[in-house]
Amino acid sequence: MLNRTILIVQKLITKNPLHHCRPLASEVLTCQLRQRDLPCWTSFCVYKWSIVNDQFGLSHFNWEVDGVNYHILRTGCFPYIKYHCSRRPYQDLTTENTFFTVLKIINVGIPTLAYGIGSWMLIKFEEEVKTSKGTVKVYFLNKEDRNAQY
């Protein structure tokens, strides 16, 4: 039931005619990882209204870019969407994804709102990501060393 609801909402989001000029969140994620030369890890926020949220309902999932698999932890942190990406072998993350999604629903989004307000106050660095629909700014709480292992 939860998965079906998520799929319906994803279709409604991506079909919205107002979204034709913004890139998909999935494209921004892929472009960011490529632009950083497929790092071991990265953690960034993207402004919610600068993208089309085609990853609605995904909290913990695999994402492959150019043959490299990442485990993505993703959460809304209003007014941003937060990504934490770690290079890891493919693993079935269905149980974890469902757990985190249900946890967010039970908490009525209050912790994610607090996380967003905290992020808004602490963001110190930004970078532009080139996509097929123009550039999108992504934001960092810390300056990342591009060659860092952790």
- Comparing CA positions, the residue from 45, 57, 3, 46 lying closest to residue 23 is 46
Q: Tell me the pLDDT tens digit for each residue of 92-133.
A: 999 999 998 888 888 877 877 887 888 888 888 999 999 999
Tokens standing for residue 73 = 């932890």
pLDDT at 145 over 80: no
Q: Which helix (H) or strand (E) holds 45?
A: strand 41-47
Per-domain boundaries in the chain: 2-140
pLDDT at 119: 82
Give 131's contacts (C-beta < 8 A, 6+ positions apart). Answer: 23, 27, 28, 31
Contact between residue 146 and residue 127 where contact means Cβ atoms under 8 Å apart: no
pLDDT, tens digit (0-9, with 9 covering 90-100), for 39-86: 999 999 999 999 998 998 899 999 999 999 999 999 888 889 999 999
pTM value > 0.75: yes
**Torsion sign, CA atoms 46, 48, 51, 52:** positive
Sign, CA dihedral 36-115-70-48, equals negative
